[in-house]
Structure 1
Amino acid sequence: MVIEERDVKDGELAGLLEAAFQELVARYGSEGRSTVHGGARYLVASVDGRGVGCGAVQPTEDPYVGELKRMYVAPAFRGRGIATAVLSGLEELAAGEGYRAIRLATGERQPEAIALYERRGYRSTEPYGKYINDQLAHCYQKTLA
């Protein structure tokens, strides 16, 4: 497996992001695609030269806190440690950007994501931004070394 940074215009990354969105629509309905802000940095995990997972870190209003976005692994490649590897890469990327913490929002209908984040030391935190009144959202934060 190779984890590498890719430009947002990368075609393979675009395909992974679209697959991620379609999965969210299947789980939650089509009530809104969350936005990724300018300045986001994306990682793609490849197996045998094929992109199979991705994630991003984007800046927030707090210059010391990054936000995790777009974590996704293609269904056929789940259970192989790819999400953990992408998450580790994103944490390293965030620390390199000077972030002291990283936050994220996931949803009640994604128990596998919740389990991953909790295993990796993310702790439940107050909802933020568009998630404040979202009854299905679970927000987490982790202090970076």
Structure 2
Amino acid sequence: MLLEERPPTDAGLSALLTAAFDELVKRNGPEGRSAVHAEARYLVALVEAQPVGCGAIQPAGAATAELKRMYVIPSARGQGVARALLAGLEDLARGSGLRVMRLATGVRQPEAIGLYESSGYAPTEPYGKYVGQPLTRCYEKVLTTDGPGSCTENDNPNSLSVHATSPGNAGCIRPKGEDRP
């Protein structure tokens, strides 16, 4: 599996984001979508060169990233794609100097809650638009510099690939086009 940073205009990413929104609407109604900032950075998971999942981070304070748009297509679920994406996005945040990752998910997404809790995210007080939203659960994790997949080889933060080495470890972030070790 390859995790690759893509611009929001990328066709494969756009198709994943549309599918993610369609699923959110089915589960939560149209108000289930929240805004993503223009400075958000997206990763796309590729299996056999096909986009199968995505996620983004956006700045949410001096040292905090907010996780956005985590999605894996139904046929790729249960294969470690979401866990690899999450680890890759944590690496991307670390490489950007961010030390805390926060997120909001819905109670109608038990698989997401399970992923976040098993990945070290702890429940936290609702923030921003999520305050007073009874169907939303907020989580937070302190990103250590030696976490899974952590690496210091991020030479070009504008052109990245993350090579997943196992379902629970996104490996090192490397410049696009560089071969795996």
Tell me if both proteins adopt one fold, taking TM over 0.5 as the criterion.
yes
Q: CA deviation at 1:133?
A: 1.1
Spell out structure 1 runs of 4+ moving beyond 6 A.
none
Tell me if 1:20 matches 2:20: yes
The residue type paired with residue 134 of structure 1 is Q
Q: Secondary structure at the match of 2:105?
A: strand
- Corresponding residue for residue 141 of structure 2: 142
Tell me if 1:117 matches 2:113: no
- Corresponding residue for residue 87 of structure 2: 88
Q: CA deviation at 1:92?
A: 0.2
- Corresponding residue for residue 31 of structure 1: 31
The residue type paired with residue 41 of structure 1 is R
Q: Under a length normalisation based on structure 1, what TM-score does the superposition of the two structures give?
A: 0.98
Q: Under a length normalisation based on structure 2, what TM-score does the superposition of the two structures give?
A: 0.78
Gaps of 5+ in 1: none
CA distance in structure 2 between the aligned counterparts of 1:80 and 1:31, rounded to whole angstroms: 29
Per-residue CA deviations over 1:56-96 (Å, capped at 9, x if unaligned) read: 00011x21000000000000110000000000000000011
The residue type paired with residue 17 of structure 2 is L
The residue type paired with residue 141 of structure 1 is E
- Corresponding residue for residue 55 of structure 2: 55
- Corresponding residue for residue 75 of structure 2: 76
Whose helix proportion is higher, 1 or 2? 1
- Corresponding residue for residue 46 of structure 1: 46
Q: CA deviation at 1:32?
A: 4.8
- Corresponding residue for residue 163 of structure 2: none
Q: Secondary structure at the match of 1:68?
A: strand
Instruction: Calculate the aligned-residue CA RMSD, in Å.
Output: 0.7
Per-residue CA deviations over 1:28-58 (Å, capped at 9, x if unaligned) read: 1112521100210000001111100000000
Per-residue CA deviations over 1:78-126 (Å, capped at 9, x if unaligned) read: 0000000000000000011111100000000000000000000000000
Gaps of 5+ in 2: 145-181
Rg: which structure is higher? 2
